[in-house]
Amino acid sequence: MRTTTASLTFLSFLHLSAGQQRHRHPHRHRTNKASVEKRDRITITDSTRTTPTEFPEVVVYVDQYNNPVRTATETVVYVPITAETPEAVAPKTSTVWITPAASKVAPGLPPLPTPPGPVWPTPPTPKHSSSLRPIPPVASHSTRPRPPVPSASSPPVSGGSNLHGITYSPYKGSGGCKTADDVDADFAVIAKDYGVIRLYGVDCDQVATAYAAAKKYGNKLFLGIFDVNSVEESVSTMAAGVKNDWSMVDTVSVGNELVNSGGATVSQSLGALSQARRALRAAGYQGPVVVVDTFVAMLAHPELCDQSDYCAVNVHPFFDPNTGPRQAGSFVTSTVSNIRSRLSNSSKRIVVTETGWPWQGNSNGAAVPGMDHQSVALSSIKNAYAHNASDLILFTAFNDMWKKPEVGTFMAEQYWGMGGRFSPSDR
């Protein structure tokens, strides 16, 4: 049984949602409880089909804000754009112009479709609301040397590893913080397969515990300032966590998808970037400092890339309903090419700071989760970066069981771990 998303007002949707979904503590949205009349049939105009097709589906009704209202089993008729709705489906038929975002839990590996190329969604209008993790950053202070700030004519560089990077979370499935022993056990599993380990914040003493593990197992760290309202405190915590040994740090990011989510404006993100760069230089760090956001935000605001030391972008092919696992790599590379065409310096380095594929959850059109599907998608992405592995950071090392599943992210938010892997602390 498939699942389709439909609007209460049956507006035209090009995607289930504009932009890339965020990997974060989910918000609880208010649900519109208005009743929805059950229809005999729903007709969907589908550009990927050549002949009309009819079958029952579980339909997820959403309001004008894309919040789920209820589900119901309906008879859905998919018709190509050039075809007319058959006479047999005349009773109470409503036509919905969408690219279908079907949702089903895949029991096995069905034939993988060959969809058209990626469709670039319209950038969302930022909404000015906080979307930060509820775990506050822990400030720490230490005495640090203050070396001279390098010349702007010599931008910092990083990378050079022949291994891909991987994102990492310091939270247990229960929601608590992992101990130093837990982090060490995690690194023992993943360290040999990845070069850079990306963190997102400074809470849970994650910089200190990851630094110790990275130094032990031979990795570099990609550190993150998650709360852009606490830049100075975050830098202080980082310096203490790495014991002022900045040689272990590949990059420091400022925020994660804040423009895309409406958590910050472009000017706020760039202001935090400048503030972080000054604080980090004063603390002794001379490497790259970047803003990380989705490709949708970067396409709309290339200045986020232009003012970063390199362009750091999250690209998730799973959230494009026209992209199947086998097309994941080409989706990522074509997205990066599209971003490059909008930069003031087209030769600037671009690093994909998040990309991957879930192994469990609901389907998003041609984007079907599953163990085999994840393997196919990851192989496609890795092959696309076979000659520049250090420009790719995969999402994520282990399943994030501390997150809450949501319909908006296809109930897959917890299940992006490489090969379906759980952290030893969650077994």
266-283 vs 231-241: helix axis angle to the nearest 10? 40
**Count of residues making up the chain:** 427
Q: Supply 18's token pair.
A: 């504009």
Give residue 19's Cα distance to chain centre: 10
Give all strands of the β-sheet with 2-7 in edge-to-edge order: 2-7, 53-62, 68-79, 41-45, 93-97
Q: Supply 130's token pair.
A: 């906080």
CB 407 within 8 Å of CB 66: no
Q: Supply 241's token pair.
A: 């966590």
Cβ partners under 8 Å of residue 117, min gap 6: 322, 330, 334
Task: Give catalytic residues, as residue numbers.
Answer: 354
Rounded to an integer, what distance in angstroms lies between the CA atom of residue 369 and that of residue 111?
13
Q: Supply 140's token pair.
A: 């720490």
Rounded to an integer, what distance in angstroms lies between the CA atom of residue 139 and that of residue 238?
9
Planar angle of CA 43, 45, 51, nearest 5 degrees:
95
Cβ partners under 8 Å of residue 205, min gap 6: 138, 170, 177, 180, 241
